[in-house]
Amino acid sequence: MGIIQKQNALSNVTVGETMRRQVIQTPVKADLDQAIGRCIKYKVNALLVAEGENHPVGVISKTDVMGAYYAGLPIETPVSDIMISPPLFCRASDPLETALEQMRENGVYRLYIMEGDQAAGALAYPDIVGLLYRFCRECRYSRGQRKKSNAQDVIRYTVREVMTPSVKSFSEDAPLTDVMEGLSACRFGAVLIRDADHRPAGVVSKTDLALAYKHGVDADAAAGTVMSGPVLSCDADDYLESAIRMLIFSQVQRIFVHEGDSQRMVGVLSLSDAARIRSGSCHACISSRIKVEDGGDG
């Protein structure tokens, strides 16, 4: 009897095929002001903290920076005081699925890759979603390639199937401390800010908060003073492929999801949501990779 082994688009892919071979570091003696500056300059959400010559001792993320801002720590605080230690590592030869499970189990958004005794790269959700998007664009079932094949239409994922079906929002005059509490409680990277008429007015992300901290904005300042805009959103019934393209080319970690009326927000789609399904934009990545192995005559 044949054994059906269900695979997905990431089956048989290694970490080395997906990781970025650049590690943005900060010295263990650096302060929070310097760390925020490096995060903003290199557009990363975390830094590897190194001691001496490339000896990794910890990680500092924008989440850690937000916690320091909330706690009222001076911007001159050394990163060693709030970093998470030790860093989590994997190997370039590890299956990507194993790395994803390690990220999920530890509640982190990135792993670092060790070669010998040095960090040689990093793996984060944008890298994984970027790989899925490339697979999708090259797939014979994709919208761009379909004319070249005789394949019948396949069922496509919509944003509704993948998104987080809730939206955390605050008014423009809510203090940043409330916003930080909401981000921490919900483990979101950004929250929606609404105006006096309850319409979407902007977004406050951890990047916005890190910049506010660096520029000396009081933690009790109104959310409207640091929010960014406009609010980037898509429809819940859009194809996932279109939303992923928006995420990648807008270089953002998440977009809000509306239903019908662009003012009616019903969810959030993040890069981690897109990576969680282990597929491209349609069910072809799963159905076309089902492997039937001969199990004999039994």
Q: Is the predicted pLDDT of residue 298 greater than 70, yes or no?
A: no
Q: Give me the number of domains the chain comprises.
A: 2
Clarify whether residues 12 and 85 are in a common domain. yes
Clarify whether residues 9 and 109 are in a common domain. yes
- What is the mean predicted confidence (pLDDT) over 218-246? 93
Q: Is the predicted pLDDT of residue 80 greater than 70, yes or no?
A: yes
Clarify whether residues 16 and 113 are in a common domain. yes
Whether 145 is covered by a domain: the verdict is no
- Domain range for residue 114? 3-129
Clarify whether residues 206 and 264 are in a common domain. yes
Predicted TM-score of the model (pTM): 0.83
Q: Which pLDDT band, with edges at 50, 70 and 90, does 215 fall under?
A: very high
Q: Which pLDDT band, with edges at 50, 70 and 90, does 141 fall under?
A: low
Average model confidence (pLDDT) for the chain? 85
Strands, E assignment, the chain: 3-5, 25-27, 46-51, 55-61, 89-90, 110-115, 118-124, 169-171, 190-194, 200-205, 233-235, 254-259, 261-270, 291-293
**Lowest-confidence segment of 61-65, 88-92, 143-147 by average pLDDT:** 143-147
Clarify whether residues 10 and 120 are in a common domain. yes
Query: What CATH number did the domain enclosing 78 receive?
Result: 3.10.580.10
Kindly write down the DSSP assignment for every residue of 225-236, as one continuous string.
Answer: GT-B-S--EEET
Considering 50-64, 74-88, 109-123, 151-165, the range whose residues carry the highest mean pLDDT is 74-88
Better pLDDT: 116 or 148: 116
Clarify whether residues 123 and 165 are in a common domain. no
